[in-house]
Amino acid sequence: MANFSSPAGNINNLSLSSFSIDVRDFHATVVALSFEILLALFGNALVILAFYRSHFLRTVTNFFVVSLAVADVLVASLSMPCWLFILVADIKNIPKGDQLSQTVLYYSWQFIDILCSTASIVNLCMISIDRHMAINSPLTYHSRMTPRRAKASIAFGWLYAFLCASLSIVTVVKPVKITAGPVYGVFISFAAFFIPLSILIAVYGKIFFVSLRQVRLIHSIRSVIQGINCENTFKFRFELKLTKILGVVVGAFIICWAPFFSMVFVTAVCRACPSNFNRVWVNSSKWLHYSNSLINPLIYVLFTRSFRTAFQQILRGFCCKGDCGIRRGPSTDPERGECGT
């Protein structure tokens, strides 16, 4: 394979050239990655379909959840298959065309990688801000975070991700020589990971302390007056549990993406460091960040009753004809506190 200088810090290039997987691991790699692709597509497609078919899931917060699922579908349908093809071609010495064709293939794959990873973490940032508004200002939340504003925020997030990914292909001296180099590696590390990660930690830290204070306040009120403001208490419980679930999503994202972006940053600032990276570390970082695309749907199934109910309805609908006694989901808006999440 041609030796491209990756604008994302040469990590993608390292995983495909000098540190290619051993032939004896070839079949296991293909099977495992294919299985991961299918699971990611299936799980995220269920999230999108559940949102489309179940009215009780059409909350403002779930707009961002669906946007995140779309990013994961793109990873599973475009980025991961392209990476699998490059691995297979590299191991089996399948002709990949001339150097220009290889450049186009590599850049198309890298563009999707950067676009979807940036879109994912931007969506997580917007989810955290949405949860902060719901917990910290519950009385004004619905007037401030309207569906129209949520959709505008999502559009801005994808535009931001598109611009970040586009910057990786603007510096080309020759048609087949990529020269974005270490500057872009540092830029994308901060723009797509370290700065958004700081926002996530700060916002969720504040959410935690606000939630703790409100829980103590609710318990103190209950000790004086039983049964007062019951609807608001149920609503707050729902918001708090949803925040915990989304916190798990954020934690999974950090675990999956931190190794990759750390290596991108180190490679960008230390030109001699790539040769010191172990092949297992490099390929594992790719596997790990791709696995994030199938983790989020699993979190929804395990922790969210409303999504779990919607998934059951969809799956039973595929298996049954007519009315099979499918259990109906909540008929009320989950944000009113009457949904059993």
Mean pLDDT computed over 290-308: 82
Which tokens sit at 152? Answer: 């505008």
Mean pLDDT computed over 77-82: 87
Taking each helix axis as running N to C, give the angle between helix 60-74 and helix 26-53, from 0 to 180 degrees, rounded to the nearest 10.
Answer: 150
The pLDDT confidence band at residue 131, using thresholds 50, 70 and 90, is confident
What is the predicted pLDDT for the residue at 2? Answer: 36
Q: Output the CA torsion 107→110→111→116 (10° steps).
A: 160
What is the three-class DSSP state of 194? helix
Query: What are the backbone dihedrals phi and psi of residue 77, each rounded to the nearest 5 degrees, phi first?
Result: -95, -25
Which of 15-29, 155-169, 313-327 holds the top average pLDDT? 155-169
Q: Which helix (H) or strand (E) holds 188?
A: helix 181-189
Are 111 and 71 spatial neighbours (Cβ–Cβ below 8 Å)? Answer: no
Residues 149-207 have pLDDT tens digits of 999 999 999 999 999 998 887 654 444 444 456 788 889 999 999 998 888 888 888 88
Entry pTM: 0.77
Q: Is the pLDDT of residue 67 over 90?
A: yes
What is the predicted pLDDT for the residue at 24? Answer: 58
What is the predicted pLDDT for the residue at 263? Answer: 86
Cα 108 to the center of its chain, rounded Å: 20
Average pLDDT, the chain: 75
Mean pLDDT computed over 270-290: 73
The pLDDT confidence band at residue 84, using thresholds 50, 70 and 90, is confident
Query: Which residue do the tokens 């902060």 mark?
Result: 132
Q: What is the CA radius of gyration of the chain?
A: 22
Alpha-carbon distance of 217 to 211, in angstroms, equals: 10
Residues 32-48 have pLDDT tens digits of 888 889 999 999 999 99
Alpha-carbon distance of 71 to 307, in angstroms, equals: 19
Mean pLDDT computed over 103-125: 84
